[in-house]
Structure 1
Amino acid sequence: MPSDAKILIVDDHEDTLYALESALAPLGYRLGRATSGDEALKQVLRGQVGLLLLDVRMPGVSGLDVVRYMRRVEQTQHIPVVLLTGFGPDQELTATAFALGVADLVMKPIDPWTLRTKVRYLYDTHRRRLALEEENRALRALVKDGPEAPGRPARPALPHPDPRVPVQRAQGAHTDSLEQDRT
Structure 2
Amino acid sequence: MILLVDDTPENLTSLKKVLEHGGFEIDTASSGEEALKKVLKNEYVLIILDVQMPGMDGFEVAEAISGYSKTKDTAIIFLSAVNTETRFITKGYSSGGLDYITKPVDINILLLKVKTFYRIYEQNRKLNEMQKALLEEIEYRKAAEYKKDEFISIASHELKTPLTSVKGYIQLLERSIDKGDTETLKKHLKKSQIQLEKLNDLIADLLDMSKIESGKLKLNMKPFDVDMMISSVIEVMHQSNPHMNIHLEGRAGTEIFADEMRIEQVFVNLLTNAIKYSPGQTDIWVTTGIENGFFFLKVKDKGLGIPKEQQTKVFDKFYRVEEPSNRFQGLGIGLYICSEIIRRHKGEISVTSQPGEGSEFHFKIAAH
Bin of the TM-score, shorter chain as denominator length: 0.7 to 0.9
Which residue of 1 is the match for residue 235 of structure 2? none
CA-based RMSD: 2.1
2:25 matched to 1:35? Answer: no
Aligned AA (1:112): I
Query: Any unmatched runs of 5+ in structure 1?
Result: 1-5, 155-183
Comparing both structures, which one devotes a greater share of its residues to helix? Answer: 2
Assess, with a 3 A threshold, how the Cα gap between structure 1 residues 116 and 95 changes in structure 2: closer, same or farther. Answer: same
Structure index of larger Rg:
2
TM-score (norm 1): 0.74
The 8 Å contact of residues 24 and 112 in structure 1, kept in 2 or not, is answered as no
After TM superposition, the runs of 4+ consecutive aligned structure 1 residues lying more than 4 A away are: none
Q: Deviations over 1:17-46 (max 9, x none)?
A: 011112212321111111011111111222
Aligned AA (1:105): Y
| Counterpart-to-counterpart distance in 2, 1:105 and 1:12 | 18
Aligned length: 148
The 8 Å contact of residues 27 and 120 in structure 1, kept in 2 or not, is answered as no
Which residue of 1 is the match for residue 101 of structure 2? 106
2:68 matched to 1:56? Answer: no
Shift of 1:88: 4.9
| Counterpart-to-counterpart distance in 1, 2:17 and 2:107 | 9
Which residue of 2 is the match for residue 146 of structure 1? 141
TM-score (norm 2): 0.38
**Larger relative contact order (CA 8 Å, sep ≥ 6):** 1
Aligned AA (1:36): S
Identity value in percent = 29
Which residue of 1 is the match for residue 125 of structure 2? 130
Aligned AA (1:98): Y
Of residues 16, 19, 24, the one that matches 2:19 is 24
| Counterpart-to-counterpart distance in 2, 1:91 and 1:61 | 21
Correspondence 1:69-80 to 2 at 5 A: 69-80=64-75
Q: Deviations over 1:93-130 (max 9, x none)?
A: 11111123311111111111111001111122112212
Aligned AA (1:50): V
Comparing both structures, which one devotes a greater share of its residues to strand? Answer: 2
Aligned AA (1:45): L
Query: Any unmatched runs of 5+ in structure 2?
Result: 149-211, 214-368
